[in-house]
Amino acid sequence: MCMKDIEVKNQVGLHARPATFFIQKANEYKSSIWVEKEERRVNAKSLLGILSLGIVGGAKIRIIADGSDEQLAVDGLVKLVESGFAE
């Protein structure tokens, strides 16, 4: 299992459009992937799950992956979040 804490950089957080990019990226990996915010954990491949966390700009989240490509998954998703989703 691999995990990393990160701060969401873009101002609006993970609203519908960035959440969609996040989910598309998560689906590129075979590993099971979750996002945690304040002790709530959701499937990173679920749009409703991600949106239900209400992740706003400046929020701290944890990306967790477990599987054959867990390190690649965490690194790829962290890079996407750090890029600000090109917004």
The answer to whether residue 15 is catalytic is yes
3-state secondary structure at position 54: coil
Asked if 47 contacts 20 with a C-beta cutoff of 8 angstroms, the reply is yes
* CA distance linking residue 38 with residue 17, whole number of Å: 22
| Per annotation, catalytic residue among 12, 15, 56, 67 | 15
Residues belonging to the active site = 15
